[in-house]
Structure 1
Amino acid sequence: MIWTLARLKDPPVAKRVRILHLYPHFVKDALDTMDLSSSQSLLSKFGELAGLIRDQKKLILKQKPRLPLKFKTCRDLMQVMMEIFSGLPNLTDYHILWCGLPSVGSDPALVLSSPLRLNLRCLRLEISLEKLQYVLSSFHNQSLPELEELDLFIRVEHLNADRYDNILLMLAHMISSLHSSLRKLTVQLWEPFDLSLLFAAISYLPLLDKLSLSIPMSFPNLGNPDGLIGFLNAHSNTLRTLSIRASELGGRSLMMHNELQLGAWMDQTFSKVHLACITKLEISLYLVPFESALICVRTFSNTLTSLVFTGSHLAYEDLDLLTAAFPPSCQKQALHHARIGPVTLSPQLIDLFAERFPEMDKLELLVKSIVPSEGDVPLFCGRSNSDRDQDEGQVRRFIEEMKHRHYSDWKLRYLDLSSGSYPRLMNEEQFKSVFMQSIPALRTFV
């Protein structure tokens, strides 16, 4: 670490640093080592390292001021780090990871907050609320840089909700102070926790156009739905992109009642949200129930031009419900881009998309298997998942069926069929040829 600091002290290196990740375990190491009776050996080791650096970079160190490499206390070390980290003139992305380390206390806060004096664009905080209090307190007399992106990954070390109200209000004040610059906000929790006070206390952010939510599966999820409902409705005229996924990172078991409870929470929340200007919706179905995701699509479908709907296999019946959630394409606002899957590709599925979305410009399908007719069971060969290929006969029959189809009114120009399932030995030009012939508007096939 000392060697890294010495390099960062060098201006030609410092000006090239764009991204910085900090995890303050070094403070615990330094405190634990300096508490030993043999602390002199630590200083001598620093001295030996300083000698190595001087020998290896003698010319450079002759020309530039050297970094002090002997530290009597841990605070001396941190003072040097503060000076260095606040002197990275072109730093744009800053990532803090600080949770655990109970013996460290508030000591790293000044070091971690020192880059916040720079002209940052993106700040990612993976931090416990207990530690966040120290960082916010250490910076309360100065304004934050004009961040465009704020990514919050919040942990709670003791899960005692009564003691966190003031910290949530401090965090809300920090977010609100970014009203003149913040465009993207990401909120993720390690454990289910009530964030309703946070959402309710954040003031209007006039430039916020993208919100990403990771919702814990277990109660209380993100807390009282009214907090998030109020936040979303307050930004109805600014939000353009909404990303939703579910998570269960804290180790609680994934039981069926969790999925049902998450579905009920999502239904209660998003059925009461009105976003007048939303154009892009991203939903991961990995843990989100399909029915709840469908409610979100129906809620926002009138203004959507882009949809990402991935993470779980979708049957033809699911896709029928999904595509039916959109208004008739004759309306001025229509879906122009979709990324969907995994799916079982069939001629009837292509028919469905061509009929429901004639104005679509770009379609990306994550293909799990291919069948010549809807309802057929895909057949595979190969013993392990790594070398399984689908039966070549089924794929050939699919191609033959597609040769009889012609979508003259479909305006699709870009088609991406991402798959590792159909035979690798089959000439992919056959796929490209048959789709280029059946879709006259098509210009790119991947």
Structure 2
Amino acid sequence: MEPVNQGERSVLNFGTIGTVLTGDQHTHPTDDCSRQRFIKLCDNTANEIKLFTEDMITISAVDKIAEQLISGVKWIPITGSPGEGKTTLGYLILKEMKEKGWNVCVLNQPEDYDTVHSFAEGKTLFMLNDVCGPFAYDPFALSTWRQFIINVQERKSHQDTEAYIFIGRENVFREVRRHFGKHEENIFGRWFNLSDQDSFLYNERLYILNMHLDKGKVNVREIDQETVCSHTGPHGFPHCCKMFVELKNRGTDVNIIEFFQNPLEFLGQTIKVLLLEKHTNMFLKEMIINNGKFDVDEVENDDKRGEIRAAERSLFGSYVKLVNGVTVFTHPSIYESVAFGIGRDDPLFIIQHCNIPFILQRMRREDPMSDVCAKGESPNYLRIHVSKKAVLKYLVPKLTRALTKDFRVLQYDICHDETVCKHIFEEFVRTFQGLHSSAEVGFN
């Protein structure tokens, strides 16, 4: 990477750095590892901005939030329902503020904050994206980020030179905000909720739809385009445009109006068909095992790697994308739909490999009194026999670990079973007895 010289200051801006040291300027750390980490953070942020804002226009919401940032607002939570475009909006704001001369960085772990501040000067905008759980409140994730967020809120230095875009689903923010005590109002007080407003104006929607239709060479009647663009749907508009075009290009017979009214239903049906293909099934399971990301190059067996790569290649677009060399799902809703599709046939796989928020939110006890459950089907939940030994073996340790972070885990349906509760508390007692014994040994 070639350094960029801008006078007598260091520059972190959209993935480019440069340092010019003079006698009256403080010296930045010269540790090579820290500098390389800093460069990687810059490059990753630049790549992600390009990926998420490609073919997008700067919507009116960007200007509103940019004005708040310039006026000195430190925290701007961006929230809403699944797929409303929260992450896309976040990256559009990063791009906008970079063009205004700010430093921009996506924080994927708290440690990256100090790395950035070791080298960057001037105003910096950080983005925290789904750090408290991508689709449901994650007590483990919150325990990682809570103290960091409180620390930067209380820190006297950098108060006037940094700001944060905090992105998360509405249900997640409603769960986590109370954990920040006296800082709750400062962090969540300027709530930008995409569910409360039309995040895309009509002309913006029409532009985005036509861009995708033209790119995919898909013809849609003007009256149908106007109908789709005139109503707010239950899922993110740009992502729906992309999914619709890809479905049409795959030969799927789908009506655009029906699709935009319930895109996740079409997505679920499509994934159900994809899972019937052996190698696609294998690849998607690897994605779930690795928490929604996978590097095919890490597969040691040459034949298996070739088969998985072919399956991966067929899913690029609406389902998966390449981010900084690693394949990830294009949206948390894709993760949910894939996990749900796999779980219908193999719920034990989901219990073994999915994170605790998905299990708590999307799994329910099998109820023999329910006709729906008796058929093994439910429109919204995966049904399991929680008292089976194989289920308890993997479920109880996960629930117990979650319980150490938040007792409200017990409010979820999957815990409302006598056998499950008994095993959870037995495991809980054993865990704390072990910790107590270890502490005694250490003390002695």
Higher strand share: 1
Which category of TM-score, normalised to the shorter sequence, fits these structures? under 0.3
The structure, 1 or 2, with the larger RCO (C-alpha pairs under 8 Å, 6+ apart) is: 2
For the pair shown, which has the larger CA radius of gyration, 1 or 2?
1
TM-score normalised to structure 2 length: 0.27
TM-score normalised to structure 1 length: 0.27
